[in-house]
Amino acid sequence: MSSDSNLNTKFPLWAPRPVEETLDIYANWAASYDDDLAEAGYETPHRIAAALAKFTTPDARILDFGCGTGLSGQALQMAGFTNLDGIDISAPMLDKAKIRNIYSRLWQGQLGEMTGITAGQYNVIVAAGVVSLGAAPPETLSMIIDHLAPEGLIGLSFNDPTLDHGSYEAVLDQEISLDRVRTLSCTHGPHLRQQKMGSNVIVLQRL
């Protein structure tokens, strides 16, 4: 698996960092984010949407956690999902997401918190590239599970650098061993096609 990417040269994405640096990176990236990822062949959001469509209905109440500029919400909408909310920690990214008019509710959160979310409120929580190296830390997955409705679904991705790091899969394995979730599907495929980077797209169900 390759972790080489022109994007990682432009923005040092796939490395642990303080929260302030993460916020600065995404604030500075917001203006060119969509164009950069389109050029890189960003496929993971569409893969997550297609995977979720096999296990839930178009009217499922979905939270796009770490929605960014709304690329993942757009992919969900294109897959037929109609009931979408979005949250992100980056105000400049949210400004771009608002323009898409995809989300019924869109608001700014805080890193490490599920701000404005009641436990059990959502049937589905999507985290496209969010719980990953250089973005949200591994324990974020446990927080998402805590807030998911019983028997609800999580659609998430681990890109190749995240898989190579191992700490994120360790948290997932622990949650499975504790019988908190089970894996409905896990497939490796293209993440950034032009950069030859892949990702695991995973659908989990809360037990």
Beta-bridge mates of residue 199: 159, 189
Per-residue pLDDT, 135: 87
The first and second tokens of residue 114, run together, are 């599920």
Average pLDDT, the chain: 91
Residue 34 clears pLDDT 80, i.e. is over it:
yes
For the stretch 81-111, pLDDT in tens is 999 999 999 999 999 999 999 999 999 998 7
Residue 17 clears pLDDT 80, i.e. is over it:
no
Residue 8 clears pLDDT 80, i.e. is over it:
no
Per-residue pLDDT, 11: 47
Count structural domains, the chain. Answer: 1
For the stretch 39-67, pLDDT in tens is 999 999 999 999 999 999 999 999 999 99
Half-sphere exposure for 51 (CA within 13 Å, toward CB): 27
182 in a domain, yes or no? yes
The distance from CA 68 to its chain's CA centroid, rounded to whole angstroms, is: 9
Per-residue pLDDT, 134: 83
Per-residue pLDDT, 75: 98
Per-residue pLDDT, 5: 45
50 in a domain, yes or no? yes
Per-residue pLDDT, 7: 53
Per-residue pLDDT, 26: 76
168 in a domain, yes or no? yes
1 in a domain, yes or no? no
Instruction: Name the band, by pLDDT with cuts 50, 70 and 90, for residue 18.
Output: low
Residue 29 clears pLDDT 90, i.e. is over it:
no
For the stretch 127-185, pLDDT in tens is 999 999 888 899 999 999 999 999 999 999 999 999 999 999 999 999 999 999 999 99
Q: Give the domain range for residue 163.
A: 6-110+119-206
Per-residue pLDDT, 70: 98
Answer yes or no: are the C-beta atoms of 136 and 107 closer than 8 Å: no
Answer yes or no: are the C-beta atoms of 200 and 170 closer than 8 Å: no
Nearest CA to 55 out of 182, 191, 189 is that of 182
55 in a domain, yes or no? yes
The distance from CA 14 to its chain's CA centroid, rounded to whole angstroms, is: 14
Per-residue pLDDT, 191: 96
129 in a domain, yes or no? yes
Answer yes or no: are the C-beta atoms of 35 and 10 closer than 8 Å: no
* Residue whose entry in the numeric block shows the structure tokens 């984010």: 33
What CATH number does the domain containing 29 carry? 3.40.50.150
Residue 199 clears pLDDT 90, i.e. is over it:
yes
29 in a domain, yes or no? yes
Instruction: Name the band, by pLDDT with cuts 50, 70 and 90, for residue 112.
Output: confident
49 in a domain, yes or no? yes
Nearest CA to 144 out of 177, 109, 98 is that of 109
Beta-bridge mates of residue 193: none
